[in-house]
């Protein structure tokens, strides 16, 4: 089930609960649930494939969120952070995987120890999670995507060119979304382009000139 459907279902439950509490005279309890439901419906619409508007959350190119976004979308942003950490703990997955030499794929790094070795640069493919403090701005590229969504050709080209530039500087590249979905890597490294040197410079088999 996609994020749009999940948020729609969760928001409907919150709205129904809010209405029930309001009718029971528990207005103070109902209001927060109502506001959370409205935020959820907004995210549900914005994340629908027909709309696909991750920029609605206001995440900057430096990976930070403005105050208005933190306030307006607080229920969603906080829930995503908690869910991401909990899901990683529950699955007990590897922190990251090395796809080829110098190219890593994983989930949102919550601490410095969760980054690959070698002081990697980071390609952040989330629109809901911030750049963590231990990742320098000059070693960071944000490609805002909803969780489990693939990047479009323009975003792919941007990520590949930036990543190749950093690889030419002998820097490891760490690509992450919220949970380390393999679809993300497929979307980036399987870009069909006439400039095959872009992909072969990552060391991907089958893309050499």
Distance of CA 135 to the CA centre of its chain: 15
Would you state the pLDDT for residue 83?
Answer: 86
Contacts of 118 (CB under 8 A, 6+ apart): 102, 171, 172
- What is the C-alpha separation between 99 and 97, in angstroms, rounded? 6
Would you state the pLDDT for residue 194?
Answer: 35
pLDDT over threshold 50, residue 10: yes
pLDDT over threshold 60, residue 64: yes
Q: What is the mean pLDDT of residues 33-40?
A: 94
pLDDT over threshold 90, residue 122: yes
pLDDT over threshold 80, residue 198: no
Would you state the pLDDT for residue 11?
Answer: 92
CATH class of 95-200: alpha beta
Would you state the pLDDT for residue 180?
Answer: 56
- Which H/E stretch holds residue 74? helix 74-91
Would you state the pLDDT for residue 164?
Answer: 86
pLDDT over threshold 90, residue 53: yes
pLDDT-based confidence at residue 193 (cuts at 50, 70, 90) = very low
């Amino acid at each position: 089930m996609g994020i749009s459907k999940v948020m729609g279902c969760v928001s409907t439950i919150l709205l129904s609960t809010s209405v029930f509490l309001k009718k029971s005279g528990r207005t103070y309890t109902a209001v927060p649930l109502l506001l959370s439901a409205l935020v959820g419906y907004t995210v549900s619409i914005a994340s629908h494939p027909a709309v696909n508007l991750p920029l609605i959350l206001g995440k900057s190119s430096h990976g930070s969120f403005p105050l208005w976004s933190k306030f307006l979308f607080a229920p969603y942003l906080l829930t995503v952070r908690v869910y991401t950490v909990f899901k990683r703990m529950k699955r007990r997955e590897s922190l990251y995987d090395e796809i080829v030499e110098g190219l890593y794929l994983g989930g949102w790094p919550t601490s410095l120890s969760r980054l690959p070795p070698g002081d990697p640069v980071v390609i952040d493919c989330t629109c809901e999670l911030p750049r963590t403090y231990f990742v320098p701005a000059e070693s960071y590229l944000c490609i805002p995507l909803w969780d489990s969504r693939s990047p479009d050709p323009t975003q792919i080209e941007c990520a590949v060119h930036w990543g190749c530039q950093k690889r030419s500087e002998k820097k490891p590249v760490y690509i992450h979304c919220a949970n380390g979905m393999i679809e993300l890597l497929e979307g980036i490294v399987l870009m069909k382009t006439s400039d095959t040197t872009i992909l072969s410079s990552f060391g991907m088999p089958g893309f050499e000139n």
